[in-house]
Amino acid sequence: MARKKTRRKTTIKRSRGAKKSAQINWSAIRSWAFPALACVSIVALGAGMTVGAEKLDDASRSLLLATPPIIELEAPVDRNGHTWVRDEDLLVLKNRIHALVEGADPFDRRPLATVGEMLDASGWFREVPRVERVGQRSIRVTGAWRRPAAVVRSGGRDHLISWQGMPMPVVFAPGGSEAPIILGAGIAPDYPNPTDRFARVWPGEDVAAAIDVLKLLALKPYRQQVAAIDISNLFRTGNIVLITDHENAIVWGGRPGEFHAGEMTVEEKVARLDAFFDRTGRIDGGYNRVEIQGPVILHGRSDPEP
């Protein structure tokens, strides 16, 4: 009988062990199953969103490409509200911009960078302008324009240059502009690479000297009386000569900012022009030739009274 009891107890233990092993540990499964399902859901959702975003981007791209861009490029103006950029020149720039962005991916920045490089090389801007998309259709350009200071007569033409001495993309027939003319420039630009045409200052210290004189007179009420700056004898005699709108000559002397023995200071020279203008309404005083550079003002005969 004892033997039989032992076998029964063993059978019961085995049965209980089998039942215990057959039970599922739901707590353990929940601990890893829920995070796994969450990850799968997030991946699926992300995939769906990516596909949706791509479709949205494609739709937006198609919509933007379906309509031609509006080029926002405004002509610069001076303090009096006047511009120095002709309508036809502004139209040329707008057409160039349109050609570079037409058909380009509206979400790609590279075409806009190419527009900036083109405008920088055009000779109209002092530095690379900012080019950006605004709204659904507009491409806006903002930047510092070069401001014309004078024209340099060279090769039978008058070439516009900025206050920094940089060539600008406008050329006139002799006397065809209202800007002061720089006469007698010793060197003309020679840039074999067309991309460098407007990227360097006009060569020669004589042209830079003429611009320095013009800067001193730019805000004077009589600035329009300075019709030309003659620098043809600057290196031979050391003199810059102002030519007035009455074709009278005013010997200025050497380049501003440099020491010239026996010459008056820049301030004293300007004061003499001021005095002539205050007294006679003319910076030449009505004389055919005036020398203001030395200790004593020298002048030739006066024009006959009208």
Please state, in angstroms and as integers, the Cα–Cα distance from residue 134 to each residue in 54, 72, 98, 101, 192, following that order.
Answer: 22, 9, 15, 14, 38
Residue at which a domain ends, from 111, 142, 173: 142
Same domain, 153 and 279: yes
Global pTM value:
0.76
Same domain, 232 and 123: no
Placement of tokens 């550079």 in the chain: 293
How many distinct structural domains can be found in the chain? 3
Same domain, 58 and 113: no
Please state, in angstroms and as integers, the Cα–Cα distance from residue 167 to each residue in 98, 195, 289, following that order.
Answer: 25, 12, 31
Residue at which a domain ends, from 142, 171, 191: 142
196-199 contacts, C-beta under 8 A, 24 or more apart: 197/123, 197/167, 198/121, 198/122, 198/123, 198/166, 198/167, 198/168, 198/169, 199/121
In contact, 62 and 107? CB cutoff 8 Å: no
Domain that holds residue 61: 38-66
According to DSSP, the β-strands at 70-72 and 148-154 are unpaired
Placement of tokens 């620098």 in the chain: 231
Give, for all 306 residues of the chain, the pLDDT tens digit: 444 445 555 554 555 554 554 555 555 555 555 555 555 555 545 555 544 545 445 545 555 555 788 999 999 999 889 999 999 999 999 999 999 998 878 778 899 999 999 999 999 999 999 999 998 789 999 999 999 999 999 999 999 999 999 999 999 999 999 999 999 999 988 876 777 889 999 999 999 999 999 999 999 999 999 999 999 999 999 999 999 999 999 999 999 999 888 999 999 999 999 999 999 999 999 999 999 999 999 988 765 444
Residue 29 domain-assigned (yes or no): no
Same domain, 108 and 202: no
Phi then psi for residue 305, to 5 deg, are -65, 140
Give the CATH number of the domain where residue 155 resides.
3.40.50
Residue at which a domain ends, from 112, 142, 172: 142
Measured CA to CA, the distance from residue 126 to residue 121 in angstroms comes to 10
* pLDDT for 32: 54
Residue 24 domain-assigned (yes or no): no
Residue 4 domain-assigned (yes or no): no
Measured CA to CA, the distance from residue 184 to residue 217 in angstroms comes to 20
Q: Which residue(s) pair with 287 in the sheet?
A: 302
With H, G, I as helix, E, B as strand and everything else as coil, classify residue 172. strand
190-207 pLDDT, tens digit each: 876 777 889 999 999 999
Query: Which conformational region is residue 64 in: left (phi greater than 0), alpha (psi within -120 to 50 degrees), or beta?
Result: alpha
Residue 133 domain-assigned (yes or no): yes
Same domain, 194 and 209: yes
Measured CA to CA, the distance from residue 115 to residue 110 in angstroms comes to 9
